Amino acid sequence: MNRKSTYVFGVLALVALMLGAAFAGSASASNQWQFEESALEGSEVILGGAEESSMTVPGLTTSCENFLYELSIENSGGSGTGSLTDMPLFDCYTDSDACVVESIGAQGLPWSSHLATFESKPYIVFEGVKVNIYYEGEECVLSEMLVSVTGSAGGEINNSTESATFNNSTLEASETSLKALGQKIEWNGVFPTEAFQAHREEAISVS
């Protein structure tokens, strides 16, 4: 091997080592659930609820005054995960006088979730989302038609307020989307969260 070849080989080897270190560092960096700034050990149940949350299909917005969820969380392999086991929806209505919410409910529970980082901010991402809605009303175009909201949804976590925010911007940033009737829909909601079991009344955050 001549001097030029040796130099090129050395440069390539150095680049490979640098890239390997970069990927290793990226892989080791993960988001974890924390209580009082210490990583969660074992599992915990957290409850979240928005005072109001809405989903908008083309031409119709459905809002629920009580939009709750129950999430079992843990740190697995150094990363925060979760399982949404319950999501009751109450006092739901539409922005149209023609359409009344006959029934609405989460399907296919539990939904899996995991923590992630997007745009240098912590997120929680729910997979396998499915909410079925039936409307009624003589002049409602969607009357007695199953409207099934499906997909995945990413919400930005705010440690200072112990809440997660879901909207068009957070879904786009997390590369998630929800669809109904073959079209993308909007979901807006801010969900304050608190622990329900051993870490009750302790500050919850994501590292």
Rounded CA separation 32/122 (Å):
10
36 three-class SS = coil
Digit-coded pLDDT (tens) for 67-100: 888 999 999 988 999 999 999 998 999 999 999 9
Q: CA dist 29 to 39, 77, 157, Å?
A: 14, 11, 17
pLDDT value at residue 108: 96
pLDDT value at residue 14: 34
Average pLDDT over residues 23-46: 78
Digit-coded pLDDT (tens) for 146-157: 999 999 999 999
Mean pLDDT (the chain) is 86
Whole-structure pTM value: 0.82
Digit-coded pLDDT (tens) for 154-173: 999 999 999 999 999 999 99
Q: Give me the percent of the chain exceeding a pLDDT of 90.
A: 77
If one counts every other C-beta atom within 10 angstroms of the C-beta of residue 132, the result is: 16
Quickly tell me which residue has 């729910």 as its tokens. 126
CA dihedral 68, 66, 163, 40 (to 10 degrees): -20
Structure tokens given for 192: 């304050």
pLDDT value at residue 19: 39
pLDDT value at residue 68: 87
Rounded CA separation 171/53 (Å):
15
141 three-class SS = coil
80 within 8 A of 31, measured Cβ to Cβ = yes
